[in-house]
Amino acid sequence: MPWRASNLKTSPAIIFGRTIAADRRSPQLRQRGKLISVIQATQKTMKKIALILTLPLVLSLAAVAAQKKDASRWGDAPPALPAGAKMAVLAGDPNKKGLFTVRLQTPAGYKVPPHTHPTGEHITVISGTFYIGTGDKFDEAAGKELGAGGYMVMPAGMKHYAWTPAEAIIQVHGMGPFVIKYVNPADDPRNPKKE
Ligand SMILES: [Cu+2]
């Protein structure tokens, strides 16, 4: 039977036996035996590579599925935040004790006046540009710019404010309950406006 790569579905022991037999015959056949071993090793490597290449695809499909799931969760942001933003709860419950993750979609020109949280606020920018500053006065000149992928943590009790000149999506995670206390109560959208 001629030596072909397609004959390699035999067990390694048989391949080994054939290689020894080939060694007794001629240097040409010995070379073929070596070549078979190389092909066999290459096939194993190719299978591993195929598996490694397939894994990110599987993971990215899982990510797409997760994103589609998120889209159905978008609703109006809670009344503690200025009107116009949308919120999606990804994990946990920001109103309850424990770890939560939410995403906020802010419209162009959105501003959150100076406020504090009793727990640390972890911010990750998903898309767009997000600006955040510390202190008790809203000052765009003192803000820090965060682009997509940017991350920062606002420690508990730290006075800060934020804004987005254009539409943006930010992710907020931390320990619930997530409470917003405005430095100036007049800035709290839950308080009725006095004329
Ligand atoms: Cu905040």
Domains of the chain: 5-68 (no CATH), 75-187 (2.60.120.10)
Top pLDDT among 13 and 48 is at 48
| Tens digit of each residue's pLDDT (9 = 90 or more) over 127-171 | 999 999 999 999 999 999 999 999 999 999 999 999 999 999 999
Place of tokens 């420690």: 155
The length of the chain, given as a count of residues = 195
Q: Is 38 helix (H, G, I), strand (E, B) or coil?
A: helix
In the reported structure, the alpha carbon of residue 180 is separated from the centroid of ligand 1 by a whole-number distance in angstroms of 7
> Residue 49: what pLDDT?
65
In the reported structure, the alpha carbon of residue 21 is separated from the centroid of ligand 1 by a whole-number distance in angstroms of 76
Which ranges in the chain belong to alpha helices (H)? 12-25, 27-71
| Tens digit of each residue's pLDDT (9 = 90 or more) over 44-98 | 777 776 766 676 666 666 666 665 555 568 999 999 999 999 999 999 999 999 9
In the reported structure, the alpha carbon of residue 28 is separated from the centroid of ligand 1 by a whole-number distance in angstroms of 76
In the reported structure, the alpha carbon of residue 118 is separated from the centroid of ligand 1 by a whole-number distance in angstroms of 10
> Residue 31: what pLDDT?
73
- The backbone torsions φ and ψ at residue 113, rounded to the nearest 5 degrees and listed phi first, read -65, 165
In the reported structure, the alpha carbon of residue 67 is separated from the centroid of ligand 1 by a whole-number distance in angstroms of 24
Is residue 10 predicted with pLDDT exceeding 70?
no
Integer Cα distance of 155 and 120 in angstroms: 4
In the reported structure, the alpha carbon of residue 87 is separated from the centroid of ligand 1 by a whole-number distance in angstroms of 14
In the reported structure, the alpha carbon of residue 150 is separated from the centroid of ligand 1 by a whole-number distance in angstroms of 15
The whole model's pTM is what? 0.64
